[in-house]
Structure 1
Amino acid sequence: MANKLGVNQYGKAESRVVRIVRDTARHEIRDLNVSTSLRGDFEDAHITGDQAAVLPTDTQKNTAFAYAKLHGISSIEDYALALGRRLLEACPAASDAQVRVEEYAWDRLGDHSFVRRGGAVRTCVVTVGREDAVVLSGISDLVVLNSTDSEFRGFLKDEFTTLPETDDRVLATSLVAKWRHTAVEGVDWNASHAAVLQTLLDTFAGTYSRALQETLHAMGCAVLDDQEEIAEIRFSAPNKHHFLVDFSGFQVEGLTNDGEVFIAADRPYGLIEAQVTRDDAPPADDAWLHVPGFC
């Protein structure tokens, strides 16, 4: 039986790139986790072991660090575009270069002192081809919670269903969202990201939810309505379940739990994933853009 090489890519994962700008007494910091990949004609490397067309992953790592200084980091999207174009230039056998960036935020304590901020992480996935580029901006670990205005009832039931219906529950998730831009030139990446994040938060807080699916759809529609240059947005939203603690077995007179004390369960959890896209949006190369995972 004949065999052939399938889809393949290679790169350097999770280079921790920290850039401190010292041009003035008031320093700035950008803290990134950078992963790069190349895809193209690397058949010889796999079949015969010939590495002549392979740009080493160590070189990709070095370029990521060098471009933090040579190009700078005004935004992670702008940095990733520049880095991807450089890698594509340096590797003629590559058809595409992809750069994935996570940025960790620091809050200022003084001119040269900072404290690492917990919580949400800004992300981007930039794919640079020989003729065009695609930018996915995003956010991960965005933990949000509504303590009311959420229900879950009327669902399908069978002989294994034990979940009770509820018309008042805690709705919480640790959201991953990625949105694809229709253009990559002339974009104010920082302003766009801040606006999307604010829209997501405002819509989550302002939407009565009959299901997390409904909330995600409302959030996606709000983002697309607000920013015409965004073609689609994708969500991966694990339910962070909060179960009411049963006080009925406690021997304490007058002790009741009227939706006030919960146990936060981390697993197993429901995982809700959805895409909201414009009707006229050009399709994305999912096999390349959205690996690994739905988002």
Structure 2
Amino acid sequence: MAIVLGDNSYGKAETRVVTVDRDPDGHRLVDLNVTTALSGDLSATHLTGDNGAVLPTDSQKNTVFAFARDGIGEPEDFAARLARHFVQSQPAIHRAVVDIEAYRWDRLAHHSFVRAAGTRTASVTFDGSLRTWSGITDLVVMNTTDSEFWGYPKDPYTTLAETKDRILATALTARWRHTGTCDWAESHAAVVRLLLDTFAGTYSLSLQQTLFAMGRAVLDERPELAEIRLELPNKHHIPVDLSPFGLDNPGVVFHATDRPYGLIAATVTRDGT
């Protein structure tokens, strides 16, 4: 049986770049974490050590900095610029994937900022055509009531009690695929607002039900999207038994646990896409 090289890529992970637009009316801050991954005719470097087709990862890092000099703009546009450049400038490279985390900052004053909740994400693949994903990670949300969980199978190892009233908390990660280009900033803000409004407005019988309601709300309202993938870790809040201290606990005191946790994930898509 022959041993052959399979799918492969290489790149520069997590290049941190910050730009400051020193507008006299108020500075503007962009804070990114950029990862590049290139694929193509790279078998020689793996099989013989011939690096003739290998653009150094240090050069990829420097490209990020150089491209940032004239402004970054929206993360999706910046990722597309980089991805196109690597494919179009390197004969051996046929596919480039650029992933960006955009850390959000709110301005406090002319040149003062505070880190905002959640991290915006963008991912662009270019191999002659563009495929663009946008998203958000680590957006922590909580409903303190209107959440139940009951009616599940019981086996010899089940100790979880059914509940008709619980805290539902999660750190939302979502990625959505675009069908083309759009107003990236407007689309992103609208999707995040739909996700938050649906989380807040859904009476939850399971986190799975809440997830699907959130994904459906986004696709119902945003025709520029083909699908959305959500990951919702269940951040458990356990009512504390205060009876040893002669106290009741009418849904007031909880122990917030960080692990282990349930992890609910699903893709919501349009039928036929």
Which TM bucket (shorter chain)?
over 0.9
What code does the residue aligned with 1:84 have?
A
CA deviation vs aligned residue, 1:107-132 (integer Å, no higher than 9, x gap): 21222222333x310011111112x1
Deviations 1:200-231 (A, max 9, x none): 00000000111000000000000000111100
**CA–CA distance in structure 2, aligned partners of residues 65 and 237 of structure 1:** 34
Contact 1:55 1:90 in 2 (8 A): no
Deviates more, 1:264-273 or 1:89-98: 89-98
In structure 1, give the amino acid aligned to 2:122.
Answer: C
State TM-score, norm by structure 1: 0.90
Distance 2:91 2:100 in 1: 23
Q: 2:154 maps to which residue?
A: 157
Structure 2 counterpart of 1:214, from 202, 209, 217: 209
Deviation at residue 52 of structure 1 after TM alignment: 0.7
| C-alpha displacement of 1:188 | 0.4
User: How many Å separate the matches in 2 of 1:208 and 1:110?
Assistant: 39
* 1:174 aligned residue: 171
Percent identical pairs in the alignment equals 58
Question: In the alignment, does 2:26 pair up with 1:6?
Answer: no
Contact map agreement 1:151 1:166 (CA 8 A) in 2: yes
**Deviations for 1:22-56, whole angstroms, at most 9, x for unmatched residues?**
25352211000111010112111100111111111
Residue 262 of structure 2 corresponds to residue 270 of structure 1? yes
Q: CA deviation at 1:93?
A: 1.3
The DSSP-based 3-state class of the residue aligned with 1:11 is coil
**Contact preservation (8 Å) 1:146, 1:170:** yes
Q: Structure 1: how far apart are the matches of 2:199 and 2:88? A: 42
| 1:55 match | 55
Partner SS state of residue 10, structure 1: coil
Is 1:235–2:233 an aligned residue pair?
Answer: no
Local SS of the residue matching 2:44: helix
Instruction: Note the residue ranges of structure 1 that are not aligned, 5 or more in a row.
Output: 282-295
Q: Secondary structure at the match of 1:105?
A: strand
Alignment of 1:113-132 (within 5 A): 113-117=112-116, 119-130=117-128, 132=129
Aligned to 2:85: 86
The structural deviation recorded for 1:89 is 1.5
Contact 1:96 1:129 in 2 (8 A): yes
Q: Does 1:134 align with 2:131?
A: yes
TM-score for the superposition, normalised by structure 2 = 0.97
1:100 maps to a residue whose letter is D
2:200 matched residue in structure 1: 205
Q: Distance in 1 between matches of 2:221 and 2:85?
A: 33
Q: CA RMSD in A?
A: 1.1
Alignment-mate amino acid for residue 13 of structure 1: A
What count of residue pairs does the alignment treat as equivalent?
273
Partner letter of residue 12 of structure 1? K
Answering whether residue 184 of structure 2 is matched by residue 189 of structure 1, we say yes
Secondary structure at the aligned position of 2:6 is classed as coil
| Deviation readout 1:227-280 (Å, 9 max, x if unpaired) | 111000001111100000001111x4xx21011110000011001110000113
Instruction: Tell me how far apart the structure 1 counterparts of residues 171 and 26 of structure 2 sit (CA, whole Å).
Output: 34
SS of aligned partner of 1:219: helix
Residue type matched to 2:179 in 1?
T
Alpha-carbon distance in 1 for matches of 2:111, 2:244 = 55
Aligned counterpart, 2:76 = 77
1:83 deviates by: 1.1
The CA distance in 1 between the partners of 2:212 and 2:104, in whole Å, is 28
Deviation sequence 1:125-162 (CA, Å, 0-9, x none): 111112x1111100000101001111000001111111
Structure 2 distance, partners of 1:106, 1:200, is 20
Q: Distance in 1 between matches of 2:27 and 2:136?
A: 25
Aligned to 2:15: 15
Other structure's SS at 1:222 match: helix
SS at match of 2:190: helix
CA distance in 2, matches of 1:262, 1:216: 24
Report the residue type matching 1:241 in the other structure. Answer: H
